[in-house]
Chain A
């Protein structure tokens, strides 16, 4: 009898050990660490296009987006605020006076900025939001900046790529946070309406969305990805010469650079497109003082991406490593993240986001907890275009790069 009692005591001890070592106690995660949200509107005709997302000072998220307008050929400006758990807080449809918000929310200190266009004058305007994502100021950008195409941060100013349809020139401007143009240069896109057509279709969304971009190298040279000399080209300039310092030419609007991120020196992480095909070049040295062709850059083919795929590439630090993180979407309707070593150009990992409905990428940014917030669009019930957010944890990113 005593032996049996001992056996039962042993059994209970084993059970206790099993319980204490099991996954129950570990089954917790902060609600703001990982989430997925679809911002649904139950109106049949509602449609939302995400553009970019940034984390705000209160831990929440600010999404810049666009909506269709009944009284304009352009898209209206849409802002959505979510809390730290990704739950919807508020939305704001700007007056149809302002249209065509351009890619990227820009953050300086505790303020956010984005650029849109005045609907009738077509002049670019700079919008300022406070740390909570509330709109506080709107300023017309001086210096005859029309048709804004892309805005990027440059220390305490904004690099703005725009189009002058009067003289058919691609324009690059340095704009202060008050909307003043501090430096500007422009280059001819070439003569004839045919060259201009893809740009106008980009604005009205009646054609393909072109991968306009802009940025600055560590040697002080600026670049923009836009039309130059009849082709979609990556143009390098120091703002002092009427001619570009260097050009990586595409093939009209059928080939060129689809995403660019400066690594160091003349090295870039880029993606390129060519008649529908997509190529990733995680580390490529570009000739920034001469004329070359993007077609000659070759690269890793990614046939799983949609034709002429929109690609976002950003330099990030993950798990102590310098990473070029690419984002795009696949023919299967999933968002794909691809992490490459910035210095090695080696593919470290890929991650797919989104199931069931088709998903398209808009933008991504790092979060305060070393995670990643990814904004995208999804088609709820295969028909209603809605904005969605994926919040990835630091652990998921570490897993991605290891």
Chain B
């Protein structure tokens, strides 16, 4: 998964660079006067300073990184490590949608991108109970638990445009502050009950519970990424990929056991930090120098 991410990020960078190189070799349709020359006029106010406003949306993949392990089971005759959860990694798709307000000045952009974000992660535990004297007495169980967390997030990025054409690859770094809006948890129990006389697997219906009390309200972290923007007509199309590195434990330590409706199956949330890869698509509109014909001048 990490290799795939690196590949995607590299591809975005290379594409952006090649496209920019190509632009510099051909004469383009003029959209903004400021972009109409290969070498922009340094005194052009539009080029130097601009506000952009628009909306953006995209998909994301999340990984929960356990920093401290917990379990409701305290084994008597087997290793505690067997109770540890196996996390899914960047597998379950999430999404986000919101607006973007960006202030551009001399190649640098300061961007606020409030959004509603859904992040998902999962883990599973496996347990076996057996009988050394009677091989038919065996039960294998697997608890799959899927978490869906909805945040209202306020990320702030500083972007730097690597070129100055219509097609602009950029890099961005920043941070985010998010408030939990909702959280759900679903568990599916599958297994094999050899003692029942039928060694076929079984699975139970998914149980979905509200899990808002299991997580604290706040999530913060740093973020960095790459992207490319393309200006056409009177708008800017932005494609970016961003890696978010959560810097706090999002599990509510005080409610780990007391508010967990799945504690009875031995579940106790680990202390986890979030890692997230987001792919976004944005449409931005310039707020300055637009006349009634929506031509920047």
In the complex, the answer to whether A88 meets B177 with C-beta atoms within 8 Å is no
In the complex, the answer to whether A38 meets B74 with C-beta atoms within 8 Å is yes
Q: Is B24 an interface residue (CB 8 A)?
A: no
Q: How far is the CA of A215 from the CA of B49 in the complex (A)?
A: 85
In the complex, the answer to whether A27 meets B76 with C-beta atoms within 8 Å is no
Q: How far is the CA of A382 from the CA of B110 in the complex (A)?
A: 56
In the complex, the answer to whether B74 meets A37 with C-beta atoms within 8 Å is yes
Q: How far is the CA of A354 from the CA of B258 in the complex (A)?
A: 9
Binds B, one of A17-25, A121-129, A273-281: A17-25
CB proximity of B274 to chain A, nearest CB, Å: 13
Q: Is A197 an interface residue (CB 8 A)?
A: no
Interface hits, B5-19 → A, CB 8 Å: none
B-chain residues with CB within 8 Å of residue A39 when the two chains form the complex: 74-76
Q: How many residues belonging to A are interface residues under a CB distance threshold of 8 Å?
A: 44
Q: How far is the CA of A4 from the CA of B48 in the complex (A)?
A: 14
A396/B262 contact (C-beta < 8 A), A44-B138, A45-B137 known: no
Cβ-defined partner of A384 (8 Å) among B78, B129, B216? B129
Q: How far is the CA of A15 from the CA of B174 in the complex (A)?
A: 13
Q: Is A41 an interface residue (CB 8 A)?
A: yes
Nearest-CB residue, chain B, relative to A334: B264
In the complex, the answer to whether B264 meets A378 with C-beta atoms within 8 Å is yes
CB proximity of A16 to chain B, nearest CB, Å: 10
A34/B258 contact (C-beta < 8 A), A42-B128, A384-B129 known: yes
A8/B110 contact (C-beta < 8 A), A355-B261, A356-B262, A357-B264 known: yes
**Supplied contacts A38-B266, A82-B74, A355-B264, 8 more A-B pairs, CB within 8 Å:** A23-B217, A24-B216, A24-B249, A27-B249, A37-B74, A40-B73, A42-B129, A44-B131
Contact pattern, A 346-389, Cβ under 8 Å of B = 1, otherwise 0: 00000000111101000000000000000000101101100000
In the complex, the answer to whether B78 meets A42 with C-beta atoms within 8 Å is yes
Listed in ascending order, the chain B residues whose CB lies under 8 Å from chain A are: 49, 72-78, 80, 103, 110, 112, 127-132, 134, 137-139, 141, 154, 156, 177, 195, 216-218, 220, 248-249, 251-254, 256-258, 260-266, 268
A381/B139 contact (C-beta < 8 A), A27-B216, A42-B130, A356-B262 known: yes
CB proximity of B138 to chain A, nearest CB, Å: 7
Nearest-CB residue, chain A, relative to B112: A11
28 residue pairs bridging A and B, Cβ less than 8 Å apart: A4-B103, A8-B110, A19-B220, A38-B73, A40-B73, A40-B74, A42-B75, A42-B77, A42-B127, A42-B128, A43-B129, A44-B130, A44-B137, A45-B137, A88-B75, A91-B76, A355-B260, A355-B262, A355-B263, A356-B262, A356-B263, A357-B265, A380-B265, A381-B127, A381-B141, A384-B129, A390-B257, A396-B258
